C-alpha cells in the first residue's frame, strides 16, 4: 500500500496464475480499479473473464439500476430489486453500445436524487463490456464489471500478462447527486489534463436536419448566414460533402471533396463561414466503408469479415479493420490531408454500425481506434472532436477524455432529451453533452413542441441548433436568439458548476440546477412534460444552495406561455425578489407547472453580504 492506492496480489500455485488488483482513490472521490493476470506456468492460458472490479456489497444494497437503450432512445434506467440470483448485462457490439453494459448502480431502497446510499460503477472502455450483480442464498452480494472477451480473444503464453481496462466506482451517501459530483469532477480533471474541451463551448449549427443530403454550396451559405444571425459560433457541415455521396448507401471511405457540390473545394465555403464570425466543422466517419466506394473496390480485404463468409452490412456499410496498421495509416493520411488543406477546427466523428463479424474479437479494433484518434489529436491539437456513434453508442470515460463533445442521441426531441440528459448526467457533465434546438415537428418523433421548451432543455448542455432557420417563424427565431444570448451569458456557470437534480413531490416535474462552486449563483430549470392533475402543484425544492445565504431570483425570459398567465404576482417576479437559501432548499419555489411542455428558467444570485 502506498499513498492513496494499494495493490493486492493473489497467487494459485497449482494453476500457476497470479492476479494483481490495483485500487487507487482519486481526489474526485472515485475509486480507480484494474486487474492484471500473469501466467506463471509453462502452458498457454485462455482468459475467459477477468473483472476490472469485483466489489463485495453491504447488506443495505437492495436495488440495482442498469442502463439500457437503443438508437434514438439512449440512457434509459431500469431499477430492480436485488434478489437471489444474478442480474447481468453483456455488450457485444464491439463498441460501448446503446445498451449500457459499461454502467451499473447498486443502492438502498430509498435511493433518490438527493437521498440514499449507492455505488455507481463504470468501465472506461469503448468496446465490449460485462457487468452484473449477484446475490447468493447465503446473503453475500457482489458487483463485478469488466471487458467482455470473445472465446480465445486473449490467450497468455508463459510469462505474459493481461491487464483490464480501468473501472471507476463512486460511493455516495447523498443520493444520485453525490454520484454526479464525483464523476463530473473526475472527468473535468482528465479533460483539463489532456487539453480537451478547453474554453467556452461554442454555439453550434449542424446542417443535418436542416439540409440532409440535399444541398450545394449556395444552399449551405444561406444556412450559414441564417445561423450567424441567430448567434451561432460554429457551422458544422454534416454528411454528404464528399465524392458521390448522395445518400447513405455509397461512398463512405472516399474522403475527397465532391467537385459537383463544391467546384472551388471547401475553402471558399469555409472562408465565407469565417467571415460570418463562425468557425467550421465537418462530419466524418473514418472507420467505415461502403461496398459501393472506390476504397472498397481497391481494398476489399480491408473491412472486418470472416474469410469465405458473406459480409453483412448495417446501414449499408461495412467496418474497416483498424487492427491493421496499413488501414490506420491510410485513414490518418486522409484525415491529416483534409485538416491540413482546410481551416477546419472541428470534426464530428461518427460510427454508425456495430462491429460484426470480428474474428478473434473486438479488443484490438478498439485499441486501433484509440491509436488513430490519438494520432489525429496529436497532429492537429487545435481541432476539437465530437464523439458520435449513431447518437450515443460509443460514449465512455475513455472517449470523453479524448473528445471535446459527445452526441448522446440522434433524437433532438426535447421531451426525450429531458429524460436522457438526466440519466446521462449521472456520469457526464453538461459541457460534454451536445444538445440542439430541433425542428417542430421533430423529425424523429413527430412531436411538435414550443420553441421555449426546446431551447430551455438544450441550454443545459453544449447548446446548438439543428433546424432550418428559414423554416422557423419570426417568434421562434426571436425565442432561439434570446436563449443563445442567455446561454452565452451563463455558459461559464453551466459548464463549471455543480449539476444537481431535485427530488420533487410531483413526479411529473423535472428540476435540475447548476450551482457555482462557491455558491455565488445558480441556474435552475423547472419543467414538466404532461398535464398536471391538480390545478396547483407543490413547491419545488432547490438543493445545493447555501442555506445561510440570500438569493436574488430572476425568471429568465421569455416566460413560457400559457403558464406565465398563471403567475400569482408577475410584478413581484419582475422586481427580482430576494429569498433565503434555507427557504429555497427546504420549502421550495412555487411556479405554475401545470400545463404540458412548460419550462421555467430561474437565475439565482447570492446577495452580497449574505453568508
- Beta strands, E only, 218-307: 234-237, 279-284, 288-289
Q: At what angle do helices 267-275 and 217-230 cross, to 10 degrees?
A: 20
Separation CA 164–CA 608 (nearest Å): 51
**Among 204, 263, 268, 259, CA closest to 237:** 204
Cell of 331: 485513414
CA distance linking residue 534 with residue 512, whole number of Å:
22
Identify the three-state secondary structure at position 553.
strand
Q: Which one-letter DSSP state was computed for residue 516?
A: -
Q: Is the dihedral of CA 481, 483, 486, 488 positive or negative?
A: negative
Query: Which residues are catalytic, by number?
Result: 350, 410
Question: Among 341, 337, 339, which Cα is nearest to 329's?
Answer: 337
In angstroms, the CA 252 to CA 298 distance is 13
Which CA distances in Å does 521 have to 127, 199, 606? Answer: 40, 20, 6
Contact 355, 93 (CB under 8 A): yes
Cβ–Cβ < 8 Å for 234, 204: yes
Report residue 160 as a C-alpha cell: 505474459
Alpha carbon of residue 201 to chain centroid: 15
Rounded to an integer, what distance in angstroms lies between the CA atom of residue 581 and that of residue 549?
Answer: 5
Residue 217 is inside which H or E element, if any?
Answer: helix 217-230
| C-alpha distances in Å from residue 390, one per residue of 136, 227, 408, 409, 572 | 39, 24, 9, 7, 47
HSE-CB for 585 with a 13 A CA cutoff: 17
Amino acid at each position: 500500500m502506498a499513498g492513496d492506492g494499494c495493490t493486492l496480489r493473489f497467487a494459485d500455485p497449482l494453476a500457476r496464475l497470479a492476479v494483481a488488483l490495483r485500487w487507487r482513490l482519486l481526489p474526485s472521490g472515485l475509486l480507480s480499479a484494474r486487474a492484471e493476470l500473469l501466467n506463471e506456468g509453462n502452458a498457454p492460458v485462455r482468459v475467459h473473464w477477468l473483472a476490472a472490479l469485483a466489489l463485495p456489497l453491504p447488506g443495505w444494497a437492495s436495488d440495482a439500476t442498469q442502463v439500457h437503450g437503443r438508437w434514438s432512445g439512449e440512457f434509459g434506467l431500469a431499477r430492480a430489486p436485488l434478489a437471489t440470483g444474478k442480474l447481468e448485462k453483456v455488450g457485444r457490439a464491439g463498441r460501448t453500445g446503446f445498451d449500457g453494459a459499461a454502467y451499473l448502480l447498486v443502492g438502498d431502497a430509498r435511493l433518490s436524487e438527493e437521498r440514499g446510499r449507492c455505488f455507481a460503477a463504470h468501465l472506461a472502455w469503448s468496446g465490449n463490456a460485462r457487468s452484473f450483480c449477484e446475490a447468493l442464498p447465503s446473503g453475500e452480494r457482489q458487483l463485478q464489471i469488466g471487458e467482455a472477451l470473445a472465446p480465445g480473444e486473449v490467450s497468455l503464453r508463459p510469462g505474459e500478462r493481461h491487464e483490464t481496462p480501468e473501472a471507476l466506482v463512486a460511493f455516495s451517501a447523498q443520493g444520485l447527486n453525490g454520484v454526479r459530483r464525483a464523476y463530473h469532477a473526475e472527468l473535468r480533471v482528465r479533460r483539463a489534463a489532456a487539453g480537451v474541451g478547453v474554453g467556452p463551448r461554442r454555439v453550434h449549427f449542424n446542417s443535418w436536419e436542416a439540409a440532409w443530403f440535399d444541398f450545394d454550396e449556395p444552399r449551405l451559405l444561406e444556412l450559414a448566414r441564417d445561423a450567424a444571425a441567430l448567434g451561432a459560433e460554429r457551422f458544422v457541415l454534416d454528411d454528404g460533402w464528399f465524392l458521390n455521396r448522395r445518400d447513405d448507401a455509397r461512398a463512405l471511405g472516399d474522403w475527397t471533396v465532391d467537385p459537383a457540390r463544391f467546384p472551388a473545394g471547401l475553402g471558399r465555403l469555409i472562408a465565407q463561414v469565417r467571415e460570418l464570425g463562425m468557425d467550421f466543422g465537418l462530419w466524418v466517419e473514418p472507420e467505415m466503408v461502403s461496398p459501393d466506394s472506390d476504397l472498397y473496390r481497391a481494398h476489399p480485404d480491408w473491412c472486418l469479415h470472416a474469410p469465405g463468409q458473406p459480409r453483412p452490412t448495417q446501414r449499408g456499410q461495412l467496418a474497416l479493420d483498424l487492427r491493421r496498421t496499413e488501414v490506420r495509416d491510410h485513414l490518418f493520411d486522409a484525415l491529416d490531408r483534409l485538416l491540413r488543406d482546410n481551416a477546419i477546427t472541428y470534426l464530428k466523428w461518427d460510427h454508425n454500425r456495430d462491429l460484426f463479424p470480428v474474428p478473434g474479437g473486438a479488443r484490438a479494433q478498439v485499441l486501433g481506434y484509440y491509436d488513430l484518434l490519438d494520432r489525429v489529436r496529436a497532429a492537429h491539437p487545435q481541432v476539437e472532436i465530437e464523439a458520435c456513434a449513431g447518437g450515443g453508442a460509443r460514449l465512455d470515460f475513455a472517449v470523453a477524455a479524448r473528445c471535446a463533445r459527445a452526441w448522446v442521441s440522434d433524437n433532438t426531441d426535447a421531451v426525450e432529451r429531458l429524460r436522457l440528459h438526466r440519466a446521462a448526467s449521472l456520469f457526464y457533465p453538461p459541457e460534454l453533452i451536445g444538445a440542439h434546438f430541433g425542428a417542430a415537428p421533430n423529425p424523429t418523433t413527430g412531436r411538435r413542441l414550443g420553441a421555449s421548451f426546446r431551447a430551455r432543455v438544450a441550454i443545459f448542455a453544449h447548446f446548438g441548433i439543428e433546424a432550418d432557420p428559414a423554416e422557423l417563424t419570426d417568434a421562434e427565431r426571436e425565442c432561439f436568439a434570446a436563449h443563445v444570448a442567455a446561454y452565452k451569458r451563463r455558459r461559464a456557470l453551466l459548464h463549471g458548476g455543480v449539476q444537481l437534480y431535485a427530488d420533487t413531490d410531483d413526479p411529473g416535474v423535472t428540476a435540475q440546477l447548476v450551482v457555482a462552486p462557491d455558491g455565488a449563483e445558480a441556474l435552475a430549470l423547472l419543467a414538466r412534460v404532461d398535464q398536471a392533475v391538480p390545478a396547483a402543484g407543490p413547491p419545488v425544492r432547490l438543493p445545493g444552495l447555501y442555506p445561510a445565504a440570500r438569493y436574488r431570483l430572476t425568471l429568465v425570459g421569455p416566460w413560457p406561455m400559457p403558464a406565465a398567465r398563471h403567475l400569482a404576482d408577475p410584478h413581484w417576479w419582475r422586481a427580482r425578489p430576494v429569498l433565503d437559501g434555507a427557504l429555497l432548499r427546504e420549502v421550495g419555489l412555487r411556479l405554475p407547472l401545470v400545463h404540458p411542455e412548460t419550462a421555467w428558467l430561474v437565475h439565482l444570485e447570492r446577495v452580497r453580504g449574505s453568508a
